[in-house]
Amino acid sequence: MPSAPTLAAFAGASVLLILFPGPAMLFLVARGAAGGRRVGVMSAVGVESANATFVVATALGLTAVLATSALALSVVRYVGAGYLVWLGISVLRSRGATAPVEIPTVGRSARQSDWTSWRQGYLVGIANPKVALFFLAFFPQFLDPARGSMTSQIIVLGAVFVAIGMVFDASYGALAGTISTRMARRRGGRRSARGKVAIGLTYIGLGGFTAATGSRTL
């Protein structure tokens, strides 16, 4: 297991990296603004679940295999970009019907909504292989052969990274959802069509950015 000073240094570096604005932040803000606080938070859980998947892949050495295949990286990246564009088009097509503000739900409908939000966040996160490559380059800076199994050290570091990411990502989604809901209530309980257009265009823009640059998402 990494030493306490190493964990502290890693946590500090992770916070600085996560605070840097990126596509994931914009995605979560858009999700929260579109669906409310709960949707934003569950989407954040999905994104960080994808990051956890990449952590496990890094620990098992699968990321190194992915890094050697330019074709695999491109396929995954373009699939992710296409999914974002599809989300954007779906939002734009539904812009004529303004959405009601977030209403707490229970039972099956709540579980279905949570599942949809988690799934969208996970698919957006897992379809960005640059995160896996980032882990492959970042984690070794904090590994120490004298501290035991490299696999266990990567898992510990990854858990720290995902936990920190969850705090910030959930905050982005929740804050956007809270602001959006309050603004909607001032308009009589409906979200504006113009807001949905902006959200749809944000998704499409993120998809285009991902396809064009393959930039990492944190």
Q: Which of 6-15, 82-91, 180-189 has the highest mean pLDDT?
A: 6-15
Q: Which of 64-73, 96-105, 116-125 has the highest mean pLDDT?
A: 116-125
Please spell the DSSP secondary structure of 159-194, one letter per residue.
HHHHHHHHHHHHHHHHHHHHHHHHHHHHTTSB--HH
Chain-wide mean pLDDT for the chain? 79
Q: Are 189 and 102 in contact (CB under 8 A)?
A: no
Q: Read off the tokens for 68.
A: 């050697």
How much of the chain, in percent, has pLDDT values that exceed 90? 24
| Whole-angstrom distance, CA of residue 199 vs CA of residue 89 | 10
For residue 7, give the nearest of 136, 151, 132, 155 by alpha carbon: 155
User: Can you give the pTM of this predicted structure?
Assistant: 0.76
- pLDDT for residue 108: 54
For residue 162, give the nearest of 13, 50, 20 by alpha carbon: 50
- How do residues 12-53 score in pLDDT, each as one tens digit? 999 988 887 777 888 899 888 888 899 999 999 999 999 999
CA atoms 61, 64, 68, 71: torsion sign: positive
- pLDDT for residue 155: 92
Residue 93's CB: how many other CB atoms inside 10 A?
11
Contacts made by residues 6-12, CB under 8 angstroms, sequence distance 24+: 6/142, 6/144, 6/147, 7/156, 7/157, 7/160, 9/142, 10/142, 10/157, 10/160, 10/161, 11/160, 11/164
- How do residues 165-209 score in pLDDT, each as one tens digit? 999 999 999 999 898 888 877 766 555 566 667 777 877 887 787
Q: Is the pLDDT of residue 93 over 60?
A: yes
Q: Read off the tokens for 178.
A: 């809270």
Q: DSSP alpha helices (H): ranges in 141-149?
A: none
For residue 204, give the nearest of 51, 72, 70, 89 by alpha carbon: 89
